[in-house]
Amino acid sequence: MWNKEIGKIGEDIACKFLVKRRFSLIDRNYLKKYGEIDIVASKGGLVHFIEVKTVSCENLDFNRSSDRYRPEDNVHPYKVKRLKRVIQVYLIQKRVYCDWQFHVITVLYDPVRREAKVDFLEDLIL
């Protein structure tokens, strides 16, 4: 239950982050039996598919060096395969005929201080 709550908080933070950057939100939590797209947005004539990874940490001075855990490490090959499939279905089902991009937003969230650090990894190749 705790992980789901943290995940929802992270997605809410990611949505606010995107809106501040003039993205228009289209969909959230587009779910199929083989995968889910956390956020679908539009900007600049493109559709943007966004995966959100949130980690709870009580110290936002969290060192993101290469020997430490990074939230984006959870976008592993199996997850990518599932994302590709659900994006293809979304494009067909919603009749989207424009170009699109895939992004990952990572959120380091401090539940005690209710603060977050957001990192936007843009235009990734699936």
Instruction: Quote the pLDDT of residue 68.
Output: 58
Separation of alpha carbons 12 and 56, rounded Å: 14
For residue 19, the surrounding DSSP H or E stretch is helix 2-20
Q: Where are the beta strands (DSSP E) in 12-94?
A: 24-32, 35-43, 46-56
The answer to whether the predicted template modeling score (pTM) of the entire model surpasses 0.85 is: yes
Answer yes or no: CATH 2.40.50.140 is held by domain 2-124.
no
- Terminal alpha carbon distance of the chain: 30
Instruction: Quote the pLDDT of residue 61.
Output: 58
Which of 88, 97, 91, 86 minimizes the C-alpha distance to 45? Answer: 97
Separation of alpha carbons 67 and 23, rounded Å: 33
Instruction: Quote the pLDDT of residue 1.
Output: 43
Question: What are the pLDDT tens digits along the chain (126 aa)?
Answer: 467 888 999 999 999 999 999 999 999 999 999 899 999 999 999 999 999 999 888 655 555 544 456 777 777 788 889 999 999 999 999 999 999 999 999 999 988 888 999 999 999 988
Domains of the chain, by residue range, sit at 2-124
Instruction: Quote the pLDDT of residue 43.
Output: 97
